Amino acid sequence: MEPVRRPGGRSARVRTAVHEAVLDLLGMEDWDSLSIAQVAERSGVHQATLYRRWGTLGALIDDVVTERLSQGSPVPDTGTLRGDLEAYAVQVAADVAGPLGPLYVRAAQVGTRVHDDDQLYMMDRAVQLQGMLERAAARGESPPTLLELMEVVIAPLYYHAIFFNRPVGADHARTLVDRLLSLPQ
């Protein structure tokens, strides 16, 4: 029999403390110098617990990224395809340009595995985006494919941040949505 997990119990407190430690350390340390030992010391959580729960530093960072994106950047449901796409693109542009932008960009580049469900964190987001596109189709709209959304909107937003070290703003994000919606169906 599996133990009962309490949403506000010790497990949640450990996860919160560890996530805060990772974010604090990434604010002070270079990504490449971050270690499980530093996270353990900063969070007050034993290294063995970190290894048991996350397995690797990459999986821990993916968990932090996934949590931050799901809380701070939920996939929108505005009632229209254009509204959903614009809201999402503008939020991605803001996320990449924000203080945690380098963390999101680096996590997207590294693409390590999430410990709990053994999926890439971007795959979880892809499932959510596919749901957004399916809602549009159910409303009778003609949504693009997920691949088209990724290639025409999401990839350019990350590309600017990675290669130009210059994230784009909301207007450019909306322009990318315009391009996407002008593709032949």
Domain residue ranges in the chain: 10-54, 65-181
- Angle (nearest 5°) at CA 99 between 95 and 104: 50
How far is CA 60 from each of CA 34, 37, 39, 114, rounded to the nearest angstrom?
A: 11, 13, 10, 7
pLDDT of residue 161: 83
| CATH assignment of 65-181, among 1.10.600.10, 3.10.20.740, 1.10.357.10, 1.20.1250.20 | 1.10.357.10
Here the tokens at position 160 are 């600017």
pLDDT of residue 48: 94
pLDDT of residue 8: 57
pLDDT of residue 115: 41
pLDDT of residue 116: 44
Spatial distance between the Cα atoms of 140 and 41, rounded to a whole number of angstroms:
53
pLDDT of residue 119: 45
The superfamily CATH assigns to domain 10-54 is Homeodomain-like (1.10.10.60)
The residue ranges of the chain whose pLDDT is under 70 are: 1-8, 72, 106-122
Amino acid, res. 76: P
Here the tokens at position 35 are 């270690």
